[in-house]
Amino acid sequence: MTRLRIIAMDDAVVFPGMPVTVTADVGDDERVLLVPRQNKVYATVGVVAEVSERVRMAGRGFAVTLMGVHRATLGGAAEDKDGVLRVDYEARPDQNPPAIQTRDLEREYRAVVDEILEMRGDDGRIKAFVRSIAGAGALADTAGYSPDLNFNQKLQILETFDVVERLKLSLQFQRDRLAELQVRKRIRDDVEDGAQKQQREYFLRKQMDAIRKELGETDGSVADEYCQKIAAAGMPDAVRQQAERELERFERMGDSNAESSMIRTYLDWLLAVPWSKRSEDRLDPVHAAGVLDADHEGLEDVKRRITEYLAVRKLRAERGLAENRKSGVILTLIGPPGTGKTSIGESIARATGRQFVRMSLGGVRDEAEIRGHRRTYIGALPGRLVRALRDAGTMNPVIMLDEVDKIGADWRGDPSAALLEVLDPAQNHAFRDHYLDVELDLSQVLFVATANVADTIPPALFDRMEVIRFDGYTTEEKVAIARRHLWPRQVERNGLRLDEVTATDATLRLVVADYTREAGVRQLERELGKLLRKTATRIASGDTQAPVSIDDAAVRDALGRPKVFHEAAVRTAVPGVATGLAVTGVGGDVLFVEAADMPGNGGLVLTGQLGDVMKESARIALTYVKSHSSELGIDDHALDGRDVHVHVPAGAIPKDGPSAGITMVTAIASLLTRRPVKSSIGMTGEVTLQGRVLPIGGLKQKVLAAHAAGLTEVVVPERNEADLDDVPADVREHMRFHIVGTVDQVLALALESRELAVAA
Ligand SMILES: Nc1ncnc2c1ncn2[C@@H]1O[C@H](COP(=O)(O)OP(=O)(O)OP(=O)(O)O)[C@@H](O)[C@H]1O
Ligand SMILES: [Mg+2]
């Protein structure tokens, strides 16, 4: 056999059926032996190749194109006479076994290769090539084309002469490759996915920032802003942690869904609480007294109580005594409308250098109003206390709980229960609003409550209150208030100067007496406003020249006919009408109890909006009169075949029903004796069947009302005598008080001695 020229293939393996081009001079040889070589070491197996083309290259040597034919094992080598290395070889062409033996392997191999090609993005040409290969050995050799197999693997395939073994080996290599490719692809996909998502988000955020900037919203991201605000808010630790937790939740969520806007609202509220802010508390009783005096006329008792209250607080603070939790009482101002309760609350704030917030409780029936709704509610909000703190901007304001007598309770929960907690110094340092759901320290708040009447305040609340009563003003006090406060305020409000209009006290008194009927001064201020408005109009339109002095005629001219009549004289001119004194929702008032008789059979008819207590009083009154008819000089048969009708006009229904008792007795007795009631006398007192007169409440208010209504005598139950001390001296001077213990004393005082015939 002929020896073949050996051509070393450095780091490359050529297989049968594979074309290669090498730069080598092969002389005139038709065939050569291509032998893989690595690190100068030849393999022991090579491929016999046919030379299909030779090209002479420009300048240096040749290039030949060779085509592998079959395997060969190398034998001995020797140089020929031209110095060319030639080797002996043994041809090892493939011995393909029967197709049946390799069919499954082949199918498997093709499938794996197809998949690999698929993954590499083959355009179909290589697939077609692989498909065109017939013969198991040749098929196994296609692994030699694979760029992913290394030199050693390829050499292994070359060295495996047994076709079945070789196919198995190739299949093994290709499977490994496929697995590797798959893993690589998965990783790449994952990475790409992540990267794409990040990129997408990045772009969206950039866009959002741009839009926000365009809208003039701030630069930093929303979360950053909250972060700074939370850091600056000076919250207690627990609250700050809660805020940070919510902020984290918000950040995780991105700020575009509904939930995140709820978190923002929550954070906004949390930040709205002035956690670390407080006004410098000024507990100086002298200064406080000065402020209270400057703002309010009269009310000496009230001012003194408030000053004392502050003085005690000051002492306790100075001596380092903790706020006494048991004695923590709430200043509560109770009195008729317009008597300055709200405005004195403002003065307390001014006197102590605190902020003032008014919190109206009128009509509040729901605990959630006070405490807020839990956050799980749609549209939940914090309660009024949190809102009050926000409005105050400090943690130690004066909060006025206005109209505590008008809170109600129903199935939505009792608001007074929440208020109790708020007002209880033992609990209110850790008040929990349902919405915020963090602890709020309310212990520095100075609570002041107001009410018109005491009896509708929930008892548990009333128990904790330190009550200061506002009983209404006397005419002289009203004149003084008008002079010092209302007049200057209205003058200024109507665009005038104090030196342009004047009015004497007598004129002011006329306005008070003839145009107002109230315990407070609201209506008075309105009337003065009207008066000054008319005056301002006249000055502005040139009708008169400033300065203007307003006299009684000008008052009548501006305010019209007197609005208040002293009707006692007219009403009591006939027998059967008595003047009672009562306390209603708007203060003291006079009321006329009317009695009449008519055909019937000795019964009692009641009209007017009388409560049960008053109806009972009326029955007792009638029984008393009947059983004492002889002493009273009433004809025994006066009631034969007749009914008595008692009427109390609506609008003057007293809060304390029984106090009209003696008035009813007097009215009935007057009717039956035909003796009219003295027109100058007013009365109040409860009556028993035995004819005793029992004490009543609100004496001062009643006396003031009697005075305002032009009465000059008041019948007062014995046990109320001490209360007369509360009546201002100037009123006391003008009144005569009759202290009584029994009804016959009352009747002796009240009934005129002359009898009048009743018109039929
Ligand atoms: N003693 C007073 N001195 C000066 N001004 C007074 C005095 N009393 C009341 N006023 C004025 O009368 C007006 C009404 O008072 P305010 O609103 O405080 O009444 P209130 O007692 O709160 O009534 P309500 O029960 O209806 O709430 C206020 O403008 C107040 O300044
Ligand atoms: Mg008020």
659-673: pLDDT as tens digits: 888 999 999 999 988
Both tokens of 361, joined, read: 């409780």
587 lines ligand 1 (CB under 6 A): no
Best CA proximity match to 632, nearest among 578, 684, 592, 671: 671
How far apart, in whole angstroms, are the C-alpha atoms of residue 334 and residue 339? 10
pLDDT confidence of residue 760: 38
Q: What is the pLDDT confidence band of residue 410, given thresholds at 50, 70 and 90? A: low
Residue type, 479: V
Q: What is the dihedral of CA 720, 724, 726, 731, to 10 degrees?
A: 140
Atom 2, ligand 1: residue with shortest CA distance:
296
Q: What is the pLDDT confidence band of residue 759, given thresholds at 50, 70 and 90? A: very low
Q: What is the pLDDT confidence band of residue 134, given thresholds at 50, 70 and 90? A: confident
- 9 close to 38: Cβ distance less than 8 angstroms: no
Q: What angle do CA 615, 616, 617 make, to 5 degrees?
A: 90
Q: What is the pLDDT of residues 62-102, one digit of tens each?
A: 889 999 999 999 888 888 888 888 888 998 998 888 888 88
296 lines ligand 1 (CB under 6 A): yes
How far apart, in whole angstroms, are the C-alpha atoms of residue 685 and residue 717? 6
- 595 close to 649: Cβ distance less than 8 angstroms: no
The whole-number average pLDDT for the span 275-297 is 88
Which residue's structure tokens are 């008075």?
524
pLDDT confidence of residue 130: 87
How far apart, in whole angstroms, are the C-alpha atoms of residue 402 and residue 112? 87
Q: State in Å: Cα 336 to ligand 1 middle.
A: 10
pLDDT confidence of residue 721: 93
Best CA proximity match to 307, nearest among 275, 341, 347: 347
Q: What is the pLDDT of residues 299-313, one digit of tens each?
A: 888 899 889 888 887
Phi first, then psi, for residue 260 (nearest 5°) are -70, -30
Best CA proximity match to 290, nearest among 269, 310, 265: 310
Q: Which of 521, 527, 701 to mutate to test the pocket of ligand 1 (most atoms within 8 A of CB)?
A: 521
How far apart, in whole angstroms, are the C-alpha atoms of residue 730 and residue 733? 5
Q: State in Å: Cα 333 to ligand 2 middle.
A: 10
pLDDT confidence of residue 578: 92
pLDDT at 255 over 70: no
Other C-beta atoms closer than 10 Å to the C-beta of 348 total: 23
How far apart, in whole angstroms, are the C-alpha atoms of residue 519 and residue 516? 9
pLDDT confidence of residue 525: 94
pLDDT at 593 over 60: yes
Atom 19, ligand 1: residue with shortest CA distance:
338
pLDDT at 213 over 80: no
pLDDT at 650 over 70: no
- 636 close to 596: Cβ distance less than 8 angstroms: no
How far apart, in whole angstroms, are the C-alpha atoms of residue 45 and residue 460? 109
Beta bridge mates, 90: 73
The more confidently predicted of residues 658 and 43 is 43
Contacts of 743 (CB under 8 A, 6+ apart): 624, 662, 665, 687, 691, 692, 693
Can you give the pTM of this predicted structure? Answer: 0.65
How far apart, in whole angstroms, are the C-alpha atoms of residue 726 and residue 668? 32
Q: Quick one: three-class SS letters along 17-51?
A: CCEEEEECCCCCCCEEEEEEEECCEECCEEEEEEE
Q: What is the pLDDT confidence band of residue 323, given thresholds at 50, 70 and 90? A: low
The whole-number average pLDDT for the span 144-169 is 90
Chain Cα centroid distance, residue 31: 96
* 3-state SS assignment for residue 520: coil
- Please state whether 740 falls in left (phi above 0), alpha (psi between -120 and 50) or beta: beta
How far apart, in whole angstroms, are the C-alpha atoms of residue 717 and residue 714? 10
Ligand closest to Cα of 451 equals 1
Atom 16, ligand 1: residue with shortest CA distance:
340
Task: Taking the CA atoms of 261, 262, 265 and 271 in sequence, report the sign of the dihedral they define.
Answer: negative
- 296 close to 347: Cβ distance less than 8 angstroms: yes
Beta bridge mates, 451: 334
How far apart, in whole angstroms, are the C-alpha atoms of residue 36 and residue 603? 140
Best CA proximity match to 5, nearest among 91, 89, 87, 67: 87
pLDDT confidence of residue 84: 83
* 3-state SS assignment for residue 349: helix
What percent of the chain stands above pLDDT 90?
33
pLDDT confidence of residue 655: 59
How far apart, in whole angstroms, are the C-alpha atoms of residue 749 and residue 733? 20
Q: State in Å: Cα 515 to ligand 2 middle.
A: 22
The residues whose Cβ lies within 5 A of ligand 2, an ion, are 342
Q: What is the dihedral of CA 515, 521, 527, 531, to 10 degrees?
A: 120
Indicate the average pLDDT of the chain.
Answer: 86
Task: Taking the CA atoms of 520, 525, 527 and 528 in sequence, report the sign of the dihedral they define.
Answer: positive
493 lines ligand 1 (CB under 6 A): no
Both tokens of 655, joined, read: 């809060």
Phi first, then psi, for residue 590 (nearest 5°) are -100, 150
pLDDT at 238 over 50: yes
Best CA proximity match to 459, nearest among 514, 420, 426: 420
Q: Which residues are catalytic?
A: 659, 702
485 lines ligand 1 (CB under 6 A): yes
pLDDT at 177 over 70: yes
Sheet holding 446-451, edge to edge: 356-360, 398-402, 446-451, 330-334, 465-469
pLDDT at 348 over 60: yes
Both tokens of 285, joined, read: 């009783």
What percent of the chain stands above pLDDT 70?
95
How far apart, in whole angstroms, are the C-alpha atoms of residue 448 and residue 359? 10
